[in-house]
Chains A and B, each alone.
Chain A
Amino acid sequence: GAVVSQHPSRVICKSGTSVKIECRSLDFQATTMFWYRQFPKKSLMLMATSNEGSKATYEQGVEKDKFLINHASLTLSTLTVTSAHPEDSSFYICSARARERNQPQHFGDGTRLSIL
């Protein structure tokens, strides 16, 4: 079945540093990738939708300069949390969808980001 790999699974870093999270579709071409942020036992908040080769579409309230999204190829999208602060600590999940119509979303395993 379709697999989405998200890396790293966990990262701990100091406040002020930038952190990059990768999302790869391993066996299909993902024209669209989604980035979510999750709070404990709560909903996954959609942060942005990225389409290969074009700028990401950010949801209202999500800082574009804070959360940089790059979808440079059909198999890779990256989320960079710039100048991370403790309030950015969260669980981030990506998902990917193939170009074919009505294809399901496939989710990565998530990244636990902890900012000290």
Chain B
Amino acid sequence: AQKITQTQPGMFVQEKEAVTLDCTYDTSDPSYGLFWYKQPSSGEMIFLIYQGSYDQQNATEGRYSLNFQKARKSANLVISASQLGDSAMYFCAMRRGTGGFKTIFGAGTRLFVKA
């Protein structure tokens, strides 16, 4: 069965410092995609970054990078130079690449950026 685990319900980080949000997954599918979303208080789920299971390099998008360790089945999100506006809920998600369009989400990590 597919599963996404985010073990950090809440995290604090000092402004301008880097922070890593953990995400581990479990799947038997060879093809899958990993996503990170940011959810501000408005409720919208803002797409941050995507990593395909066959991608050789770790995905990066501006201040966001995904530390993809396939053998360990982890896809941690690294936010560099944290900003106050980064305070939000962050969800890790996995979409199966074959046999349907199932997407599963982790429980989320609430990030608090301190001034």
Contact = CB atoms under 8 A, between A and B. Distances in A.
A110 B104 CA distance: 8
A1 B4 CA distance: 12
Main secondary structure of the interface of A (DSSP, over half): strand
Give the secondary structure class of B's interface: strand
A8 B83 CA distance: 40
A112 B101 contact: yes
A41 B44 contact: no
B107 A9 contact: no
Nearest to B45: A44
A59 B102 CA distance: 25
B101 A110 contact: yes
A104 B103 contact: no
Contact of B47 (A9, A41, A104): A41
Contacts of A104: 9, 107-108
A44 B37 contact: yes
Contacts of A28: none
Contacts of A109: 102-104
A34 B43 contact: yes
Interface string A62-97: 000000000000000000000000000001010100
Nearest to B42: A46
A45 B9 CA distance: 23
A106 B42 contact: no
B46 interface: yes
Interface of B: 9, 35, 37, 42-47, 50, 91, 93, 100-105, 107-108
The 6 nearest A-B residue pairs measured at CB:
A44-B45, A107-B105, A43-B47, A112-B101, A46-B43, A109-B102
